[in-house]
Amino acid sequence: MQEISSVFGIEWKLLLVQIINFCILLFVLQRFLYKPLLKIIDERKGLMEKGVEDARSAKESLEKAEIDGKEIHDKAKAEAREFLSSSKTEAIKMKERALMDAEKEKEKLLKEAVELGKRLEEEAILRSKESIARMATLAAEKILREKH
């Protein structure tokens, strides 16, 4: 062994000091660099996993919201169609009622006009009779005056 160390020029004391320095350096690096670095890497890995999970959750929520939105849209469309249909039906009924009311009003006005026409005709006949009676009286007076 001594031959090998003399051939390669190895000094055992220096080798031992270097091994101790290496162990100290290894201990310091592991304690102050390697462990904190692994801790940071684990934290980032956790954050990345949480981010991926949040993204997955957000995607699922978005898909559910899109489905819910489509259902709400379809439901609103159906309700709008139903409302429009009932509105049309109601409008037709209101139109029919208005036509019936207008027809009744027309008949009432026509009846009143006929009654007014009859009344005016009766008044005109009465006036005519009175005029004829007056004229007959005047004619009779005139005839009587001429005879006297």
pLDDT digits (tens, 9 = 90+) for 22-78: 999 999 999 889 888 999 999 999 999 999 999 999 999 999 999 999 999 999 999
What is the residue range of 120's domain? 2-147
How high is the pLDDT of residue 15?
85
How high is the pLDDT of residue 23?
96
Going from the C-alpha of 113 to that of each of 60, 102, 120, the distances in angstroms are 77, 16, 10
Instruction: Give the predicted TM-score (pTM) of the model.
Output: 0.43
119 is written with which tokens? 């009344």
Tally of domains in the chain: 1
Going from the C-alpha of 82 to that of each of 34, 69, 85, 87, 92, the distances in angstroms are 70, 20, 5, 8, 15
